[in-house]
Amino acid sequence: MTDFILKTLNGRTLSLPAKMITTLRADMSGPLLLPGDEDYDTARSVWNAMVDKRPALIACCADANDVAAAVNFARQTDALISIKGGGHNIAGNAVTEGGLMFDLSTMNNVDVNPETHRVQVGPGASLADLDAATRPYGLAVPVGINSTTGIAGLTLGGGFGWLTRAHGLTIDCLVAADVITADGARLRATADENPDLFWAIRGGGGNFGIITRFEFQAKAVRPNLLCGLLFLPLIRARELFALQRELMEGDTEELTAWVVVRNAPPMPFLPEESHGTSIAMMAFCYSGDPEDGEALIAPLRAINNPLAFLAGIQPFAEFQQIFDPLLIPGARNYWKSHDLLNLPDTAVEALIEAVDRLPDAETEIFVAHVGGAMSRIAPHETAFIQRRPHYVVNIHTRWQDPTKDDAARHWARGLFEALSPYSAGVYVNFMPAEESARVAEAYGANYARLTAVKACYDPENRFRLNQNILPNAEIQLAG
């Protein structure tokens, strides 16, 4: 093997003797991949097909020892590093161009203690892995809505989905994490042990170290819930948004109802003549007693002449995957997002008008509502600060043809600007790579403390391929 070229933190390239690669390979139990190796392209691929970067080296970590070995190598060589858990994040920061990539995807174990309801989860696990392990025990961890999403990135940014109003964010169930920091130290982060680190990883992203194990306190959740979908033509979208506000701004935390506007996919339960036309859809899930839920969804059943209405009791783990067919890997994706404290009619009009100009049939806008249990935690208790009940508007541009890149991004940015007057923040997991200027906005009053924690655990900003928090050593941590 000839000398090896690696990109460093300062953007330069470094020529390393081949024996350093040989040594790292000997220190790891998982494979170490170079360009041209059989599994290299698979390892570097992520959910968003717009991301096509080529790491110089991919450390496919089998366990925490592998992670520590690769972290030490990165420190010795000053390598630019990236970390891939599920590889689902829109920004594509899981892959570095010319640097060292950590691939944690095989660290996907999920172990459930049915007596304590504690769940140990590896950083490579997907939401489907977690749901499959907890379901037999009548348990669940509140997570997102696409089963191929990785638990690591979702958790580190906050994590919300169908159970958030009833049981809180994903981070609200996190009780411990094993972390390897930039200096190679192995730390346990809990409310009592390294509490500043524990505070920061609950919403602060992958800025502070590599998580090699998450520990969650799962919630008791009925295996079968009242769930469903309601479809209307787009011309009736105002009716559906008004109903969402009525349902979500009440006191019932067990009910979650989200609205999506898009072109109708060719689903078999939709009239064939509606396929490809503009529609508004409500997806709902009630986590309490289905009989109680029936009274709450009565207004949905009362809507006249829907394109389709499906409601019934079904396994929750199956409903968790209901949007998977619309979100399969391999498409080009670009997101823009806002948090809105309310959903005024003028914002609704902007959403509806934008649907008439969709750049591609796969593009959609979804409007989620979160609040309830997650809002009972004070904004300063975790790095995730947006604890007020609010709507999350995600402008999800999705297409296959690379020639549509500019048009798709232009459309998304136009709607984003139209909604900006109503913005009250942004969810860090929904930010594209270009939005580094919004990082401080995402954390608000918590940002200063995050920069201090960053300075403590990663003063050289080695973990920088993320929505990056810059270290500020001038701010002193309390205690």
CATH number of the domain residue 46 falls in? 3.30.43.10
Spatial contact of 224 and 316, defined as CB atoms under 8 Å apart? yes
The partner residues of 100 in beta bridges, in order of sequence, read: 57, 81
Mean pLDDT of the 195-221 span: 98
Rounded alpha-carbon distances, angstroms, from residue 443 to 62, 107, 202, 314, 446: 33, 29, 12, 37, 5
Q: How many Cα atoms occupy the beta-carbon half-sphere of 48 within 13 Å?
A: 23
Answer yes or no: do 234 and 189 share one domain. no
Distance CA 63, CA 161 (A): 29
Domain range for 396 is 224-436
Residue pLDDT, tens place only, 265-276: 999 999 999 999
pTM over 0.75: yes
Tokens 């190679």, residue located: 184
Rounded alpha-carbon distances, angstroms, from residue 245 to 13, 28, 240, 345, 374: 54, 53, 9, 11, 18
Report percent pLDDT > 70 for the chain. 98
Count: domains in the chain: 3
The answer to whether residue 478 is domain-embedded is no
The answer to whether residue 346 is domain-embedded is yes
Q: Which helix (H) or strand (E) holds 399?
A: strand 390-399
Answer yes or no: do 155 and 216 share one domain. yes
Answer yes or no: do 200 and 129 share one domain. yes
What the block records as the tokens of 355 is 């649907």
Helix (H, G, I), strand (E, B) or coil at 323: coil
Burial state string for 365-374 with b = 16 or more CB within 10 A and e = fewer than 16 = bbbbbbbbbb
Spatial contact of 164 and 172, defined as CB atoms under 8 Å apart? no
Answer yes or no: do 197 and 287 share one domain. no
Residue pLDDT, tens place only, 229-238: 999 999 999 9
Per-residue confidence band for 257, with pLDDT thresholds at 50, 70 and 90? very high
Mean pLDDT of the 348-361 span: 96
Answer yes or no: do 352 and 291 share one domain. yes
Helix (H, G, I), strand (E, B) or coil at 218: coil
Distance CA 143, CA 93 (A): 21
Residue pLDDT, tens place only, 360-417: 999 999 999 999 999 999 999 999 999 999 999 999 999 999 999 999 999 999 999 9
Per-residue confidence band for 478, with pLDDT thresholds at 50, 70 and 90? very low
Answer yes or no: do 70 and 210 share one domain. no
pLDDT at 474: 62
Residue pLDDT, tens place only, 292-351: 999 999 999 999 999 999 999 999 999 999 999 989 999 999 999 999 999 999 999 999
